[in-house]
């Protein structure tokens, strides 16, 4: 049984007084949240989660999602539970709840469970095991930590300092309270919550603009064995995630927003890294994740995504869904199958390469072993009437103890692996000729593909470069560099507004930096354009947008080509362009711009044709190593990339099949990419790293790449 360390649960709150049923746009079904595209009601955006709860869910059901972590906590591990969502989406209700027993939220229920389990353990071991629970409760506002056990008048505006000790970050001066009974907990908790709202008023903030973190350390001592264990559960009611653009623009508010934005951004990155089981979790990049040591100590994390059901919230809802979506694992199989153009994906090629090294094929058009040919779409892509947008499947997460199946949430439907039509039965058995069974081969291939993609991701040079720089800088500029790093990460995701805010925050650290100021001014221009231009012409700048990146990687990683549609898609914009027939589309939401990026999807997805597709790659003059697992490039390839990266239109024009317009557009793409990472004065910076990236540029494609390449001699 695989145990995953992150679960993401969605919950839609019920309608409140004054809200109307007719305005409901968000619903939960089959462990997924769906909402229609307001521009085209025939299209439905669907986001799968580990579990999704509708308006009728109750507090006990939500608790059943987190209670299985209790066991883990008592083994001396960490558990972290976040509530994420816009202001008014139900975070506090979910975490804290209300006074009636049935409405108590996750925090008091968890404390009750800790207390009960502790008592039970003590009884079972006849007192040999003792349990102590120590609680701290603080809020993080504007990157400053305030103790909620401290009355507001005793706080210093600068908040509590942090200190590193034994590789752990500690908040200095935080008050610990030992909880001896549930009654005691309730009293402490209520008092601290009262402090939160009082202090919020004093600090001219609002509770929803701070993260409230309650930590309970469970100390387990076994007197018989002398063994001591400490597990910590942290429950966080996050600051409202609302879009900055709709908050006022005064300096204080902007700083506040930027600080929330930064911490939520880092949080998303950490959760993403944990979900993908990456070795590096960037938890040190924000105060909250740093204090929580997120992803360390063998921790389990549950993220509850709170959503309001009505249209009035739908920009925030999309933003939240997008946030959660970003944190999910990229499913290799699915990514491969969902490639809208049916191109051979990089993953497919790796898979093929590894396969080739494991088994020898009598001909290129042989079938794959059965296990590998089962990689059909793992989700249906909607019906003729209802189109379902792409999001990657979440992993199933850790197992629940004996969590009761909630009554009013859609039952867990196993997602069948579909055998796409048109797939022929394998023509030969591989184990006849080889020691390896198809299962073994599939496992090895999967493992290798993951390793290669992980290695490639690590090789992504630009952001890595800056991260490295950052690590080396221990001086006062480190903070400024952090902002620049965050800005770049936002920019790489197409989140121009947040990128702009981050660059602005970096200005005090690099006041005379022309490049930084230019960057800010460019982004301001871009932001203006994004909000005013309704339809973008496909031009050279469009060509740039087709180089859309996720995490600095070409979008081929998710195998989805993106086209930006502005926020107007979701505002009360004029009627949508009529279409004779609704088209099936993928959509990926870029986060803070709430852009919906759509791409028509072919009706039948190119599921597993990769053996033919990939085989055709070998019919050219390239050596196989060139497509191989490492990034070694032949002189001819290097030559081609050098010309493209030169930005020199006259040189690019000399490439086979490239006219003036195309050459100009290519040079423009290279320029834009350099500028995006502030490397515009570095001619050696390879804006286009490999043939794959070159082929990803809109209007180029792999055939064109081949054409350009074939016209070059290796030495020219």
The secondary structure of 284-322 as a DSSP string is GGSHHHHHHTTT-TT-EEEEEEEE--BGGGHHHHHHHHH
580 is in an annotated binding site: no
Q: How far is the CB of 236 from ligand ATP (least distance, A)?
A: 12
Q: What are phi and psi of 434, to 5 degrees?
A: -135, 160
C-alpha to C-alpha distance for 258 and 556, rounded to whole angstroms: 30
Q: How far is the CB of 159 from ligand ATP (least distance, A)?
A: 20
695 is in an annotated binding site: no
306 binds ligand ATP (CB under 6 A): yes
208 binds ligand ATP (CB under 6 A): yes
**What are the residue ranges of helices labelled H in 461-513?**
461-472, 477-492, 496-506
Of the pair 85, 382, the CB lying nearest ligand ATP is at 85
Q: How far is the CB of 16 from ligand ATP (least distance, A)?
A: 5
C-alpha to C-alpha distance for 679 and 21, rounded to whole angstroms: 52
Residue 124's contacts (CB-CB under 8 Å, 6 or more residues apart) are none
Of the pair 100, 157, the CB lying nearest ligand ATP is at 100
Of the pair 14, 511, the CB lying nearest ligand ATP is at 14
Burial class (CB in 10 A: 0-12, 13-18, 19+), 664: middle
265 binds ligand ATP (CB under 6 A): no
309 binds ligand ATP (CB under 6 A): no
207 binds ligand ATP (CB under 6 A): yes
Of the pair 404, 635, the CB lying nearest ligand ATP is at 404
Of the pair 85, 606, the CB lying nearest ligand ATP is at 85
Contact 243, 594 (CB under 8 A): yes
Residue 299's contacts (CB-CB under 8 Å, 6 or more residues apart) are 5, 77, 78, 79, 80, 293
Of the pair 16, 412, the CB lying nearest ligand ATP is at 16
Identify the helix (H) or strand (E) that includes residue 169. Answer: strand 168-171
Of the pair 97, 394, the CB lying nearest ligand ATP is at 97
554 binds ligand ATP (CB under 6 A): no
Contact 523, 503 (CB under 8 A): yes
Joined tokens for residue 398: 């850790």
88 is in an annotated binding site: yes
Exactly one of 159, 240, 299, 394 binds ligand ATP (CB under 6 A); which one?
240
Residue 139's contacts (CB-CB under 8 Å, 6 or more residues apart) are 145, 146, 148, 196, 199, 210, 211, 212, 213
Q: How far is the CB of 14 from ligand ATP (least distance, A)?
A: 5
The secondary structure of 198-259 as a DSSP string is HHHHHTT--GGGSEEEEEEEEEEEETTTTEEEEEEEEEEEPPP---GGGS--SHHHHHHHHH
Of the pair 62, 687, the CB lying nearest ligand ATP is at 62
Neighbours of 477 (CB within 10 A): 15
Neighbours of 156 (CB within 10 A): 11
C-alpha to C-alpha distance for 413 and 380, rounded to whole angstroms: 12
Joined tokens for residue 91: 């975070």
86 is in an annotated binding site: yes
Of the pair 90, 606, the CB lying nearest ligand ATP is at 90
196 binds ligand ATP (CB under 6 A): no
Residues 562, 566, 572: CA angle, nearest 5 degrees? 135
- Within residues 494-513, the interface with ligand ATP by CB under 6 A covers none
The secondary structure of 420-473 as a DSSP string is -TTPPPPSS-HHHHSSS-HHHHHHHHHHHHHHHHHHHHHH-HHHHHHHHHHHH-
Count of residues engaged in binding ligand ATP, rule: CB under 6 A = 15
Of the pair 91, 346, the CB lying nearest ligand ATP is at 91
Q: How far is the CB of 88 from ligand ATP (least distance, A)?
A: 5
Terminal Cα-to-Cα distance of the chain (whole angstroms): 56
Residue 205's contacts (CB-CB under 8 Å, 6 or more residues apart) are 141, 142, 256
C-alpha to C-alpha distance for 331 and 324, rounded to whole angstroms: 15
CA–chain centroid gap for 439, Å, is 30
Q: How far is the CB of 407 from ligand ATP (least distance, A)?
A: 15
Q: How far is the CB of 275 from ligand ATP (least distance, A)?
A: 23
Q: How far is the CB of 153 from ligand ATP (least distance, A)?
A: 24
581 is in an annotated binding site: no
- Within residues 62-121, the interface with ligand ATP by CB under 6 A covers 85, 87-93
663 is in an annotated binding site: no
Q: How far is the CB of 306 from ligand ATP (least distance, A)?
A: 6
Of the pair 89, 555, the CB lying nearest ligand ATP is at 89
Give me the 1-20 binding string for ligand ATP, x by CB under 6 A, dash otherwise: ------------xx-x----
Q: How far is the CB of 115 from ligand ATP (least distance, A)?
A: 24
Q: How far is the CB of 95 from ligand ATP (least distance, A)?
A: 8
Which residues are part of a known binding site for ATP? 85-92
Which residues are part of a known binding site? 85-92
Residues that bind ligand ATP (CB under 6 A): 13-14, 16, 85, 87-93, 207-208, 240, 306
């Amino acid at each position: 049984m695989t145990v995953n360390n992150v679960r993401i649960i969605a919950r839609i709150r019920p309608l409140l007084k004054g809200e109307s049923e007719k305005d409901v746009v968000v619903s939960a079904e089959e462990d997924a949240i769906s909402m229609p595209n307001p521009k085209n009601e025939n299209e439905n955006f669907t986001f799968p989660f580990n579990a999704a709860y509708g308006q009728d869910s109750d507090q006990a059901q939500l608790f059943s999602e987190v209670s299985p972590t209790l066991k883990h906590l008592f083994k001396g591990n960490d558990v972290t539970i976040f509530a994420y969502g816009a202001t008014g989406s139900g975070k506090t209700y979910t975490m804290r709840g209300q006074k009636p027993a049935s409405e108590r939220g996750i925090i008091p229920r968890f404390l009750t469970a800790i207390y009960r389990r502790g008592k039970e353990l003590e009884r079972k071991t006849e007192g040999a095991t003792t349990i102590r629970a120590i609680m701290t409760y603080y809020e993080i506002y504007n990157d400053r930590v305030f103790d909620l056990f401290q009355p507001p008048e005793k706080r210093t505006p600068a908040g509590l300092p942090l200190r590193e000790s034994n590789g752990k970050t500690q908040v200095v001066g935080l008050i610990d309270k030992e909880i001896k009974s549930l009654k005691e907990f309730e009293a402490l908790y209520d008092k601290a919550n009262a402090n939160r709202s009082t202090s919020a008023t004093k600090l001219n903030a609002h509770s929803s603009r701070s993260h409230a973190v309650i930590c309970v350390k469970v100390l387990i001592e076994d007197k018989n064995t002398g063994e001591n264990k400490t597990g910590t559960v942290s429950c966080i009611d996050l600051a409202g995630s609302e879009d900055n653009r709709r908050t006022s623009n005064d300096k204080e508010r902007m700083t506040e927003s930027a600080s929330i934005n930064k911490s939520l951004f880092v949080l998303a990155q950490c959760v993403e890294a944990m979900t993908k089981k990456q070795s590096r979790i960037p938890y040190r990049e924000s105060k909250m994740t740093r204090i929580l040591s997120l992803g360390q100590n063998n921790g389990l994390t549950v993220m509850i995504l709170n959503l309001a059901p009505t249209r009035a919230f739908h920009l925030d809802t999309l933003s939240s869904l997008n946030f959660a979506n970003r944190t999910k694992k990229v499913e290799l199989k699915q990514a491969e199958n969902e490639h809208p153009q049916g191109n051979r994906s990089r993953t497919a090629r790796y898979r093929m390469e590894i396969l080739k090294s494991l088994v020898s094929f009598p001909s290129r058009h042989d079938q794959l072993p059965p296990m590998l040919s089962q990689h059909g779409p793992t989700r249906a892509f909607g019906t003729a009437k209802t189109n379902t947008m792409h999001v990657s499947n979440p992993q199933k997460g850790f197992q629940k103890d004996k969590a009761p199946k909630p009554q009013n949430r859609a039952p867990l439907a196993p997602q069948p692996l579909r055998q796409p039509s048109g797939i022929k039965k394998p023509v030969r058995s591989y184990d006849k000729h080889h020691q390896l069974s198809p299962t073994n081969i599939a496992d090895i291939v999967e493992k290798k593909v993951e390793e290669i993609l992980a290695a490639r991701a690590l090789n992504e040079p630009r952001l890595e470069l800056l991260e490295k720089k950052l690590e080396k800088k221990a001086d006062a500029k480190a903070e400024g560099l952090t902002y620049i790093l965050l800005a770049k990460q936002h920019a790489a995701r197409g989140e121009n507004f947040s990128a702009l805010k981050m660059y602005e925050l970096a200005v005090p650290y690099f006041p005379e930096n022309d490049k930084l100021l230019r960057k800010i001014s460019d982004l301001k221009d871009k932001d203006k354009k994004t909000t005013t231009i309704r339809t973008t012409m496909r031009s050279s700048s469009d060509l740039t947008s087709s180089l859309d990146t996720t995490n600095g990687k070409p979008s081929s990683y998710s195998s989805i080509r993106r086209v930006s549609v502005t926020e107007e898609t979701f505002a009360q914009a004029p009627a949508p362009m009529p279409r004779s027939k609704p088209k099936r589309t993928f959509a990926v939401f870029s986060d803070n711009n709430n852009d919906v990026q759509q791409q028509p999807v072919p009706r039948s997805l190119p599921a597993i044709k990769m053996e033919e597709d990939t085989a055709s790659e070998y019919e050219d003059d390239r050596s196989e190593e060139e497509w191989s697992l490492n990034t070694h490039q032949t002189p001819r390839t290097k030559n081609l990339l050098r010309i493209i990266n030169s930005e020199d239109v006259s040189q690019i024009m000399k490439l086979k099949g490239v006219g003036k317009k195309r050459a100009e557009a290519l040079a423009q793409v290279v320029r834009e990419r350099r500028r995006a990472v502030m490397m515009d004065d570095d001619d050696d910076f390879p804006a286009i790293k490999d043939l794959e990236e070159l082929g990803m540029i809109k209007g180029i494609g792999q055939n064109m790449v081949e054409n350009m390449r074939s016209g070059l001699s290796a030495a020219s």
